[in-house]
Amino acid sequence: MLMMLARNKKVDEAKQVWQDLKREEVLFDQHTFGDIMRAFLDNGLPSEAMGIYEEMRQSPDPPLSLPFRVILKGLIPFPELREQDSGDD
């Protein structure tokens, strides 16, 4: 459901489901992070993808490299967001 909402640009609904899952203490795996970021990026919603990226970086169980590659590839058309992230290191 979360993926379909993101793919259909239902940002508010996707955020609500995301928050509900977090409230239930669901820990997202690397595939979930990668899939939701890819859905937002593919639909021209880079700021939403960056929000998920920030949550991913702060996760108590941070994912391996897959979602990081997804976000980097998805940010190619958005140099201002790439610069924003590169200053965080």
pLDDT at residue 24 in the model: 95
pLDDT at residue 66 in the model: 65
In whole angstroms, give the CA distance from residue 17 to residue 20. Answer: 5
Specify the pTM.
Answer: 0.67
Tens digits of residue pLDDT in 15-69 = 899 899 989 998 888 788 888 888 888 888 888 888 888 888 888 877 676 667 7
Higher pLDDT: 51 or 70? It is: 51
Contacts of 56 (CB under 8 A, 6+ apart): 28, 33, 37, 62, 63, 67
Contact 37, 67 (CB under 8 A): yes
pLDDT at residue 82 in the model: 57
The number of C-alpha atoms within 13 Å of 45 and in the hemisphere containing its C-beta is 21
